[in-house]
Each structure stands twice: as structure tokens, then as C-alpha cells.
Amino acid sequence: MRSSLAFFFHPKSIAVIGASNRPGKLGHEILRNLLEGGFSGRVYPVNPKGGRIFGLKVYQTLDSLPESPDLALIVLPPAKAVEAFERCGRLGVKAAIIFSSGFSEVRNEELERRLVETCEKYGIRLLGPNCAGVINAHENLYATMEVRIAPGPVSMVAQSGALGGIILALCEKQGIGMSKFVSYGNACDIDESEVISYLAEDPETKVILVYLEGVKNGRKFLSALREAVRKKPVIVLKGGKTGSGSRAARSHTAALAGDNRIFQAVLRQAGAIQAENIEEMLDLAQVFLSYSHMHGNRVCIVTNSGGPAVVAADHCEEQGLKLPPPTQKLLEKLEFLPQYCPKSNPIDLTAEADGERYRKTLEAVIRSGEYDGILVIFVPPFFVDVVDTTQAVIETAWENRRTPMVACWTGTGVEKCIEMLREAGIPTYTTPQKAAKALKALWTRNKTQRKAGFGAGGGI
């Protein structure tokens, strides 16, 4: 009987095997992260030298612990890690993470075979080796050397610890919290599919980010992904798409990257959202924190500056979105706009537009029902009150939550306003391209949901 993944996210007791009192050593820093993070369960440092670390008693052997811990964090060189993992299995430990590298990614397949045998023999579950561990921010569990992120609705599964760490750093910078973070490395027991299935059921996870380099069991992956996509947006960045990338993946996590065209088709078929680069994963996550999908692909661009709107129109069309001009009926509602404002979509309120002009225009556009989503652009001229304009856009978005609205705020002095918008739940980007891609992701998600037979429904 194999243990559930729950022991990784909700352990009551944790052993740190290879705990060290030397700052800078992994066995020290992981223990420190765990304690400073505020883990509320019992923590048992293990090291043959004994003594005390951070005021905690250090156990000289695993057998001398007062209980069999739920989770073991193993911070030892490869051969010793394998032995420690076997002892964990024998003692009835439920789950373990091996952080160390030096396994199949450098052709030490034999060591990894022994890990798998231990899993099969005792039912203990293994994350790694060659991974960065686990976070459950909602329970102050930071069993990782990565940054301690604040709790929130995004979860991440990453084959690469460092890449996961980059996403964590971006989350922190953008004020986005995280629920679960799992770096699974060589995936010799727990793989991406199992974690994805777990997160699909996790009520604290609203959006799933996946970085993977290869998939050992394609059928299992497709089925896990399909099931997850029915429940929540899954955003995937695939490493090893090209010949060079896939050779690199081979020596990184021993991943067989596979035929990229097949893989892309699998992702598309399953309804996953594909990210083109690292930053884009979080750009796309942001939009799903506010909206579940977009009913159609008719987008209206409302702007105070022509050039950025032209570029936005290009990016929208490149993403397969449509920019139909307003009907005569809507144009009549927009008659309050000065005659010199271009109104054929993009609707250009021109540089002197204030909050009131944005508000009235956005309301008319939303109420017309002629558009499924709005891309609103603001490049502040020196003479316009940026906070007032931003506030008006926020209020309009809140009063009309069913029509997805994404913002592109860029130029001088917009930083504070971007924070305001994001705090208000309006997905906000610094380039028209990112905003267009966010709307495209909402539209992709709609198609998935329709296929799954779900009803529609937006809302910040």
C-alpha cells in the first residue's frame, strides 16, 4: 500500500537527515528554512554527531527518534541518501524528499533503481532525487531551500528547482501568493502526473503551473492533465522543445524530452495553456486569478495613446482574437467622445482622457454586449492624474465583473497604479503583447470548458 501525497503537504512530524550546524550547508539551511518558516509540527534533526542545532536535540540515528516521522528530508551524498531512504522505509516513514543530485542525471541509474525498490518494498513515497523540495505556504511548511513565499492561490509543479525558484521570486515581486510548490527532479517515484492530479483536487489551488522537461509515461500524463484541466487552468512550460534543449534536459533531469510536435499536440488536446517562456507562466496565471474564461474572442481595445494600441491590435490578431468595430448603436452611446477620437476599435480616448472618459467609454463598451473582453491601455501623459484614472478603471471593472478586462499600464510613473490594479484583481501588464496573450489564454480556457460541457461564468 503506497502512502498518499498528503504526507508531503500536511506532515505532523519531519526528520531532517543530514542536519548540519554549519551555516551555508544545505543540511543547515533546509532545517533553518523549516523552522523560520514556522512549521507547527515536530522537527527531528538527525546527524551521527549529535548535539543541538537551533536549540533542537540532534538524534544520532534514525532509529532513536521518539516516533516514525511522516516526512523525512534527506540531505546526504547520493550513496548515503540511498541507505538513509532504505532505513526510512523500514521504520515506516510515510514520505521522503532526497534533495541531492548525482543520480540518473549523471548516469548513476543503479542508485536510482535501489530507491525505486525501497518504494515498492515499503510503500514509502519519494520526491526527487535532485530536487528542491516542497512548500505548502498555507501551513507554513517550507521543506525547501527556495524562498519562503506568502500563501496564495497558485500552485507549481517544477521538474527544475531553480526554474521553480525563479517563478517563486516573480510571484513575490508581483505580490502573488502560492499554495503548493513541488520540485520533483528525477521523478524516480512521484512524477508530474501524480502531483498534477493531487493539485487538481486541492481546494487551495486555483491555478496550476507546470514546468517539465520530459514525461516517462505519456498516457498517464495525458490522462492526469485532461482531468486537471476539467477542474482548473493548467499552464505548462515545456523545456527540451528543440534538439539542443532536449539534449540539455537529458543531462539535467535524465528526462527524455520526446518528440516536441507530439507533445505540443498532447498539451493542446488536453486543453492546457502553453507558456512560451518563464515569465509568461506567471503572466498567464495572473489572469486566471481574476477570471475563469472569456465567452468569445471579440476584444475591444480602449486606449489613451495610438501607438501602443496599434501594437496591441497586432498582438491580439496574432493571438487569434478579433477586433470588430463598434456597431452604429454603440457608436451612438460613444457620442460624448470628442469628434477627433478614433472610435473604430481601438477606441482612442486620446492623451487628454481623464478617469471620467475612461469610465463612460468602458461602461458603454461593456453594456453593448458587443465584446467578450476588453484590453484597456493607459500611458500617462504628464498632465493627467494617474491615480484618478486608474481608480476609475478599477471601479468600472468592479461594477461590470462579467466581462474580463485586462490592463496594460506602461510609461513613466505607473508603478504604484499597477499595484493598485493588481490588488483590485485586474490583471495588469506592462506591454500590450502580454495583455493580448492573457486574453488569448482566457479564450482558450473557454473552449476547453465548453468541450467539457461546463456552463459559462466570469467574474473578478
Asked whether 127 and 95 are in contact (CB, 8 A), the reply is yes
**Chosen residue from 342, 354, 368, 460 binding a second copy by CB under 8 A:** 342
CB closer to a second copy, 64 vs 327: 327
Please identify, among the stretches 114-122, 261-269, 298-306, 396-404, the one whose residues bind a second copy according to the rule CB under 8 A.
298-306
To the nearest whole angstrom, how small is the minimum distance from the Cβ of residue 352 to a second copy?
Answer: 9
To the nearest whole angstrom, how small is the minimum distance from the Cβ of residue 283 to a second copy?
Answer: 11
CB closer to a second copy, 390 vs 410: 410
Q: How far apart are the first and last CA of the chain?
A: 43
To the nearest whole angstrom, how small is the minimum distance from the Cβ of residue 368 to a second copy?
Answer: 18
Number of residues binding to a second copy, judged by CB under 8 A:
79
Q: Per rule CB under 8 A, is residue 379 in the interface with a second copy?
A: yes
**Chosen residue from 308, 326, 355, 373 binding a second copy by CB under 8 A:** 308
Residues in the chain: 460
**Chosen residue from 226, 295, 315, 357 binding a second copy by CB under 8 A:** 315
Q: Which of the residues 26 through 65 are near a second copy (CB under 8 A)? A: 26, 29
Q: Which of the residues 428 through 457 are near a second copy (CB under 8 A)? A: 430-433
Q: Per rule CB under 8 A, is residue 370 in the interface with a second copy?
A: no
**Chosen residue from 55, 203, 383, 455 binding a second copy by CB under 8 A:** 383
To the nearest whole angstrom, how small is the minimum distance from the Cβ of residue 349 to a second copy?
Answer: 12
To which residue does cell 463612460 refer?
360
Q: Which of the residues 81 through 120 are near a second copy (CB under 8 A)? A: 101-102, 105-106
CB closer to a second copy, 346 vs 458: 346
Asked whether 169 and 195 are in contact (CB, 8 A), the reply is no
To the nearest whole angstrom, how small is the minimum distance from the Cβ of residue 336 to a second copy?
Answer: 17
Q: Which of the residues 384 through 403 are near a second copy (CB under 8 A)? A: none
To the nearest whole angstrom, how small is the minimum distance from the Cβ of residue 14 to a second copy?
Answer: 19
Using CA atoms, how far residue 199 sits from 30, 209, 229, in Å, is 24, 10, 11
To the nearest whole angstrom, how small is the minimum distance from the Cβ of residue 243 to a second copy?
Answer: 6
Q: Per rule CB under 8 A, is residue 317 in the interface with a second copy?
A: yes
Rounded to whole angstroms, the Cα distance separating 298 from 319 reads 12
**Chosen residue from 344, 416, 450, 459 binding a second copy by CB under 8 A:** 344
Q: Per rule CB under 8 A, is residue 307 in the interface with a second copy?
A: yes
Q: Which of the residues 220 through 249 are near a second copy (CB under 8 A)? A: 237, 239-245, 247-249
Residue 455 CA from chain centroid, whole number: 25
Q: Which of the residues 155 through 174 are near a second copy (CB under 8 A)? A: 158-166, 168-169, 172
Q: Which of the residues 178 through 207 are near a second copy (CB under 8 A)? A: none
CB closer to a second copy, 91 vs 147: 147
Tell me which amino acid residue 158 is. Answer: A
Q: Per rule CB under 8 A, is residue 154 in the interface with a second copy?
A: no
Strands 133-136 and 141-144: antiparallel
Rounded to whole angstroms, the Cα distance separating 424 from 379 reads 19
To the nearest whole angstrom, how small is the minimum distance from the Cβ of residue 103 to a second copy?
Answer: 9
**Chosen residue from 62, 134, 208, 323 binding a second copy by CB under 8 A:** 323
Rounded to whole angstroms, the Cα distance separating 127 from 413 reads 45
To the nearest whole angstrom, how small is the minimum distance from the Cβ of residue 93 to a second copy?
Answer: 26
CB closer to a second copy, 20 vs 290: 20
To the nearest whole angstrom, how small is the minimum distance from the Cβ of residue 439 to a second copy?
Answer: 13
**Chosen residue from 316, 364, 394, 438 binding a second copy by CB under 8 A:** 316
Dihedral class, residue 270 (left if φ above 0, else alpha if ψ from -120 to 50, else beta)? alpha
Please identify, among the stretches 1-9, 87-95, 264-272, 341-349, the one whose residues bind a second copy according to the rule CB under 8 A.
341-349
Rounded to whole angstroms, the Cα distance separating 146 from 115 reads 24
The site string for a second copy over 251-280 (x = CB under 8 A, - otherwise) reads xxx----------------------xxxx-
